[in-house]
Amino acid sequence: MGPWFFLSPEAFQQTNVCLPQDVLRHLKVLRSRKGDLLILSDGKGRAFQARLERLEEQKGEAVILGAAVSTNEPVLDVTLFPGITKGEKMDQVIRQSVELGVKKIIPVLAERSILRLPRQKKEEKGRRWQNVAGSAAGQCRRSLIPPVTLPFEFDEMLLYWQKEQLDAIIVPWEEEKNIGLRQTLETLPGGLQKIGLFIGPEGGISEKEMGQMRKIPGVHAVGLGPRILRAETAPIAVLSILMYYYDW
């Protein structure tokens, strides 16, 4: 099938595609040669089989042969709202959630978020996290690069939920002792397409925040069992279950 690369959607306007410098560098590392097959995706859901026609120091070109796959994207449309964590933990959450098939990521600054971000830092983090998502999407051969928005404040997330009308919003909460994730999934109606998943930051979700979220239709607070999961572990655990339950 060949190595997988993302190009801008505009690059696919012709059968012969010019390859950008980052792709050329990667091809040289792989010791690719003229005639080798590769997969080119526009990052918007389309992927194409292509053949390398030219690979020079500063120039490269491939010819599109046809569609590579009909779709490798999950049917379930999950938007992840991860509470922002410190250091490399957010990179880990973004990378692994992209691998698991999340469609969109909206980082959230919650009441107990340890990290606080001024506007400039939000933009810097946003660019970094989008690059992480793009790298992960290429590595696991997705035809879609999930967008990572600039961080939302908690109140902005609530407004987004009301506007977007998601089919269901799952909120794991360590204080929820009566209703588990499996029980909730079994009671939800069939045919769900758009699900939101909010994971609190390292400090967890406050009572006040939980009260605000419960007022929004479709929000389901769930427990994840007797063990407390870390902020970077919980989204991966729940996403894995959601994809297994609805997408396989």
pLDDT in tens, 146-205: 999 999 999 999 999 999 889 999 999 999 999 999 999 999 887 788 999 999 998 899
70 pLDDT band, cuts 50/70/90, is low
Task: Enter the CATH code of domain 4-67.
Answer: 2.40.240.20
Q: Assess contact for 42 and 12: CB atoms under 8 A.
A: yes
pLDDT (mean) for 125-149: 91
**Contacting residues for 79 by C-beta, under 8 A, at least 6 apart:** 102, 103, 104, 105, 106, 164, 166, 194, 195, 196, 197
pTM, rounded to two decimals: 0.86
Cα separation, 220 vs 214, in Å, equals 8
Distances (CA, A) of 40 to 17, 47, 68, 99, 146: 9, 6, 9, 18, 16
For the segment 213-243, what is each residue's pLDDT rounded down to a tens digit?
A: 999 999 999 999 888 889 999 999 999 999 9
Tell me which of 67-76, 92-101, 184-193, 196-205 is least confident.
Answer: 67-76
Domain with CATH 2.40.240.20 in the chain: 4-67
What per-residue confidence (pLDDT) applies to 43? 86
Q: Which of 68-72, 118-122, 165-169 has the highest mean pLDDT?
A: 165-169
pLDDT at residue 42 greater than cutoff 90: no
Domain with CATH 3.40.1280.10 in the chain: 77-247
pLDDT (mean) for 132-146: 91
What per-residue confidence (pLDDT) applies to 59? 87
Question: Could you tell me the fold of the domain covering 77-247?
Answer: Alpha/beta knot (3.40.1280)
Our CA dihedral for 10, 16, 20, 24, rounded to 10 degrees, sits at: 150
